[in-house]
Structures are given as structure tokens and as C-alpha cells.
């Protein structure tokens, strides 16, 4: 194999695929990146058997060939090399990496032992969305994904495709985050559950991607294939039926409005005095338009603070909430947050005062004493 390309292009490709190899410990062979030089460019791939990521780097091909190289070594070495052209060549000693001023030889492994990333079979549909929308959708739902071994459907994000809407939902059984995006039209209608680790990888790829390129979804019977620019990701889907949650949302809401930053700061201070391992805080709407936040621990002491709100306090019954869950839900609401209370044993609804194209709502169950 003989191939040359710009360092920045190679670094981008290695970063795209290499991360998944670093998170794999079950089989040592999976800690490598498969590299193949051909007419279409330098093909790179890595997999952990659940997720496969591929990237193609443009450059000059002199001689086709392939090899298997340590992902960690490539990720550590390449950023330290001089900018400009990088030349790759396989020799009897390994993979020779040359620049104008440096030369490195990396040990290679047999490519026959590396698993092939399977293509999507039984294609059910295709879909395309702008990168900023997909990024926002995952950022507003990922934090609420559960890790429940007995209920694997909670360990991912539900993506529901309809003709005019795209909905993403995540829950751990105690809180639920939903984002709805209106679209012009779609060519697929159905539901899939994307594993948490896959959603994290997609978010990571979007952080480094060109926002002008749309995200292409290819949906199979039990697989999802996503294309983001020159990078492709293939993943298994979570099996199981996601719960029908629509009835959980209150039909009538009378929200109060608070400043998101002030509320977060007040909750963080109060949490310092909550019970260890519970992170419980008590919230009460006072008639003087003050949202009171209180917590008490026999070991530490107590703390009471208040944040002003706008609106009418329809429900003044105290409600006990998990502070971390509340903070994470409010973090999505920049500027001002609307909160709807239904009573001590009713879920709390959190929404931003000003919605974006990705409309967000967050449901938080109270802690029952």
C-alpha cells in the first residue's frame, strides 16, 4: 500500500473512527483501525461489534493495499506530526508514516482477523435532516436515557418518523424528555430505538462535522445506517416496545415562568443540604410569586431559598423532586423556563419559554416519601 494525503484530512478520518476502538476491550483485535487504500481513497473503519464507523480520506493512490493498526497509537501520533503531506506505505516492518521531517514505523496486525461491518439488510426507509437539528435533538434527550437492564427499551432514544414530524424521546422511568421537529415531508413512517452509545457517537461526529451537510438515515429491519459527510455509522437497534407515554403529559397546564439561570443556581445551593444519595428538594409556589426551594439533612443542616416567578400559582402544594433531574431538564431551557405543577403526586412539566425548531418538553416525576 502506498498512499499520500493532507495531514488534516487523515487526522479527521482517524478521529472519526478511532474513538469507538478505544472503547472496546472485549477483543484486542477491535482496538485497531482497518486501513485500505483504493481507487475511492483511503478507507478507514473501526467497530465494537455493536457499532461500526467508516470514513474515506481523499488523497493520491500509488499502490492499493490494506493493514490493521493500533487506534490509540494513530490517535496519539498523528496530531504531533508536522502539517502538510503525509505518506503511508506498508513494508515488511509495518506501516511507514512519513512527513517532510519525520518517519515512523507502526506495527501492523493481520487484516483477516478483523470483522467486516455488515451492510443494512431489508431496507425499510430513508430519511434526511439538517445536522444542526439532529444535533439539537440528541442534546435535548440523551441525558434522560435510562440504564435499566430489565427494560432494554429504556437504554436508547426512541425516534418516531411521520410524514410531517420527527420525534425523539428518552426516559429512565423517572423523567422523560421529548423533542418534536416539524419537517416538510418524509419518505419513511415508523419507530426505532437507537442505543445510548450510538446516539453518543452520532453526537460526537456531529460536533466535528460540516453543518451544511445533511444527515442521511437509512433504516433496516434491526439496523440503522447514518451518513454524515465522509463518515458512515452502522448500528444495531434496541429491541423492545417503547412505552406509550403521551397520556403522562397533563392535558391542562398553568405554567409559571422563572429565569433558568437563577433557578439552576438556587437548586444547586439547596442540593448541598439534601439527603445523601437522594438529592431531594422540596418546591412550593408561594402566593407572593416566590418559588421556594427547601432541603434538609440531619447530618448537614437545612437551606431555604426563593426565586421569583411570573404567573399565577394555581397549585401551592409542596412537591419533592430529584434536584439533579430538575437541573438537567432546565439546562435545555435557555433564558426562561416554564414549569407546570399538578400537585404532590403529579408529574412536573418543564418547557422553555421560547421554543426553537426542535420543540422540547420534559416530564419529571415527584419523589414519593
What pLDDT sits at residue 73?
A: 96
Q: Are 295 and 349 in contact (CB under 8 A)?
A: no
Does the structure show a pLDDT above 90 at 362? yes
Does the structure show a pLDDT above 70 at 284? yes
Does the structure show a pLDDT above 80 at 369? no
Bridge partners of 219? 125, 224
State phi, psi for 234 to the nearest 5 degrees: -120, 135
Span 344-352, mean pLDDT?
Answer: 93
Among 149-163, 172-186, 316-330, the range of highest mean pLDDT: 316-330
Span 296-324, mean pLDDT?
Answer: 91
Instruction: Name the residue among 330, 337, 144 with its Cα closest to residue 245.
Output: 144
Average predicted confidence (pLDDT) for the chain: 91
Q: Are 249 and 349 in contact (CB under 8 A)?
A: yes
For 114-128, write each residue's pLDDT tens digit. 998 888 888 888 888
Q: Distance between CA 255 and CA 115 in Å, rounded?
A: 53
What pLDDT sits at residue 157?
A: 95
> Angle of helix 323-331 relative to helix 260-271, nearest 10 degrees?
160
Does the structure show a pLDDT above 80 at 210? no
What pLDDT sits at residue 186?
A: 62
Does the structure show a pLDDT above 90 at 263? yes
pLDDT top residue among 150 and 44: 44
Span 151-173, mean pLDDT?
Answer: 89
Instruction: Give me 123's grid cell.
Output: 431496507
Instruction: Name the residue among 180, 176, 195 with its Cα closest to residue 328.
Output: 176
CA 169, 131, 221: angle at the middle one, nearest 5? 55
Q: Are 259 and 336 in contact (CB under 8 A)?
A: yes
What pLDDT sits at residue 68?
A: 96
152 pLDDT band, cuts 50/70/90, is confident
Amino acid at each position: 500500500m502506498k498512499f499520500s494525503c493532507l495531514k488534516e484530512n487523515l487526522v479527521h478520518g482517524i478521529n472519526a473512527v478511532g474513538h469507538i476502538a478505544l472503547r472496546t476491550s472485549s477483543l484486542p483485535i477491535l482496538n485497531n483501525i482497518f486501513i485500505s487504500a483504493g481507487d475511492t481513497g483511503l478507507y478507514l473503519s473501526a467497530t465494537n461489534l455493536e457499532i461500526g464507523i467508516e470514513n474515506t480520506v481523499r488523497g493520491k493512490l500509488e499502490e492499493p493495499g490494506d493493514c490493521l493498526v493500533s487506534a490509540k497509537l494513530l490517535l496519539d501520533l498523528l496530531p504531533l506530526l508536522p502539517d502538510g503531506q503525509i505518506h503511508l506505505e506498508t513494508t515488511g516492518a509495518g506501516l511507514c508514516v512519513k512527513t517532510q521531517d519525520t518517519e515512523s514505523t507502526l506495527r501492523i496486525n493481520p487484516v483477516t482477523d478483523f470483522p467486516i461491518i455488515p451492510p443494512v439488510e431489508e431496507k425499510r426507509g430513508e430519511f434526511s435532516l439538517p445536522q444542526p437539528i439532529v444535533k439539537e435533538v440528541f442534546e435535548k434527550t440523551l441525558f434522560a436515557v435510562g440504564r435499566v437492564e430489565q427494560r432494554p427499551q429504556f437504554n436508547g432514544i426512541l425516534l418516531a418518523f411521520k410524514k410531517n414530524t420527527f420525534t425523539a424521546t428518552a426516559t429512565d422511568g423517572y423523567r422523560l424528555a421529548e423533542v418534536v421537529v416539524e419537517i416538510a415531508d418524509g419518505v419513511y413512517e415508523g419507530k426505532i430505538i437507537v442505543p445510548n452509545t450510538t446516539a453518543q457517537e452520532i453526537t460526537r461526529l456531529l460536533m466535528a462535522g460540516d453543518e451544511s451537510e445533511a444527515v442521511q438515515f437509512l433504516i433496516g429491519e434491526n439496523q440503522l445506517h447514518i451518513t454524515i459527510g465522509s463518515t458512515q455509522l452502522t448500528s444495531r437497534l434496541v429491541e423492545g416496545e417503547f412505552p406509550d407515554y403521551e397520556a403522562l403529559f397533563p392535558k391542562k397546564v398553568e405554567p409559571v415562568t422563572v429565569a433558568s439561570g437563577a433557578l439552576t443556581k438556587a437548586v444547586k445551593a439547596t442540593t448541598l443540604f439534601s439527603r445523601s444519595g437522594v438529592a431531594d428538594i422540596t418546591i412550593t409556589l408561594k402566593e407572593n410569586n416566590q418559588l421556594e426551594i427547601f432541603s434538609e439533612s440531619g447530618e448537614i443542616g437545612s437551606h431555604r431559598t426563593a426565586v421569583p416567578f411570573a404567573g399565577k400559582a394555581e397549585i401551592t402544594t409542596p412537591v419533592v423532586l430529584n434536584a439533579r433531574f430538575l437541573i438537567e431538564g432546565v439546562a435545555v431551557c435557555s433564558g426562561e423556563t416554564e414549569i407546570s405543577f399538578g400537585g404532590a403526586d403529579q408529574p412536573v412539566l418543564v418547557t422553555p419559554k421560547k421554543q426553537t425548531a426542535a420543540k422540547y418538553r420534559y416530564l419529571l416525576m415527584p419523589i414519593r416519601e
